[in-house]
Amino acid sequence: MPTLLFPLRGVPEDEADEVRALLAEHGIDYYETNAGNWGVSTPGLWLRDDAVFMEAKALLGIYQQQRYQNAQTEYQELRQQGQQATFWRSVKDRPFVILSYLFAMGLVIYASIKLLFEMGL
């Protein structure tokens, strides 16, 4: 019976490619499903044989730990250089986009409060 090993919803394409390569490198037979035309199905990598599930899960755990360590190292390097992503850096890089988001949020809050007072609450 097929077993879901790795759900692909929200996974970056580079990570999905690396997991596919890892499974192929170790000779683990799998197949892939997509989200379908309406996006309601479960995209993922499925194992054809339940007997290799524990081995595949262990390999995936090691891979994810290494990916986590690489991401932490990259973040620390960016932080030491003062280049990590922050809210203020986003405001500085894209002021009109941030201001338009803030304006839209303010408009929604204003309309919600005004509607409540007009209804007599």
Same domain? For 18 and 63 the reply is yes
* Per-residue pLDDT, 1: 75
d(CA 12, CA 20): 13
Same domain? For 104 and 46 the reply is no
The CATH number for 45's domain is 3.30.70.1530
Question: Who's near 46: CB < 8 A, 6+ residues apart?
Answer: 2, 3, 4, 5, 30, 31, 32, 33
Whole-prediction pTM: 0.72
* The dihedral formed by the CA atoms of 105, 106, 109 and 112, expressed in degrees to the nearest 10: -100
Q: Provide the domain limits for residue 113.
A: 85-121
- pLDDT in 10s for each residue of the chain, 121 residues: 789 999 999 999 999 999 999 999 999 999 999 999 998 999 999 999 999 999 999 999 999 999 999 999 999 999 899 888 888 888 899 999 999 999 999 999 999 999 888 887 6
Same domain? For 91 and 80 the reply is no
Same domain? For 39 and 3 the reply is yes
Which amino acid is residue 10, in one-letter code?
G
* Per-residue pLDDT, 53: 95
Same domain? For 79 and 91 the reply is no
How is residue 58 written in tokens? 């262990």
* Per-residue pLDDT, 121: 66
d(CA 96, CA 91): 8
Question: Who's near 40: CB < 8 A, 6+ residues apart?
Answer: none
Same domain? For 114 and 63 the reply is no
Q: How many domains does the chain have?
A: 2
Same domain? For 32 and 18 the reply is yes
* Per-residue pLDDT, 2: 87
Same domain? For 52 and 111 the reply is no
